[in-house]
Amino acid sequence: MRAVVVYESMYGNTHEIAGVVGKRLIEVADVSVVPLDDASPTIVGEADLLVVGGPTHVHGMSRPGTRDAAVKASDKPDGPELDADAPGPGLRAWFDSLPAAPRLAATFDTRLEGPAMVTGRASKGIARQLRHHGYRMVTGPESFLVTKHNTLVDGEIEHAQRWADELITAAQAADPTRDVSSA
């Protein structure tokens, strides 16, 4: 099985979760973990399982204005450090170039700690876009929590490892003709 983990990350938390998920998936699949700018239609088209993650901005996927605000916040003396992969368009623009594909997918986001109805969840919008492009979701959207100081909440790395294990099981159940353990 070929898996591609694509992420949009402004401050590094989504990038870190993508790396953890990719590291777990690599035990059973051929995996690439790529920032949004490197997620070309060719790379994505090779995936049997596409995992897409992004930060939650103003209750959903980032927009040009929220991305600009994140960059401005990082310019402040006490602001968070921008992820090296932060420049470029966000997921919304990326979906415009995503080819339709009847393949398997899963989504995740990073969001502030608190009830999802208060913080929002980018992963729901990401899942909606993937379904629109013909992808079949193997599991529901997942959220990983970030503190107001912009660090992952304790235990979220382990949460990402468990979620990746669930993805493996769900992908096997969704497409039993593929042997994800023989990659």
Q: For residue 38, how many other CB atoms are within 10 A of its CB? A: 12
Q: Alpha-carbon distance 158 to 20, whole Å?
A: 9
- The packing angle between helices 13-25 and 156-174, to 10°, is 50
pLDDT of residue 132 exceeding 50: yes
Contact partners, residue 159, CB within 8 Å, separation at least 6:
144
Does the pLDDT at position 154 exceed 90?
yes
2-182: CATH topology is Rossmann fold (3.40.50)
Query: What pLDDT sits at residue 178?
Result: 52
Mean residue pLDDT of the chain comes to 92
Q: What does the pLDDT look like over 167-180, one tens digit per residue?
A: 999 988 886 555 44
Predicted confidence (pLDDT) per residue in 10-21, tens digit: 999 999 999 999
Of 150, 152, 147, the residue nearest 70 (C-alpha):
150
Give the C-alpha separation, 52 to 69, whole Å.
22
pLDDT tens-digit series, residues 35-77: 999 999 999 999 999 999 999 999 999 999 999 999 999 999 9
**C-beta separation of 153 from 147 below 8 A:** yes
Nearest to 135 by CA among 108, 180, 81, 99: 99
Tell me the chain's radius of gyration from C-alpha atoms. Answer: 15
Q: How many percent of the chain have pLDDT more than 90? A: 81
pLDDT exceeds 80 at position 183: no
pLDDT score recorded for residue 118? 92
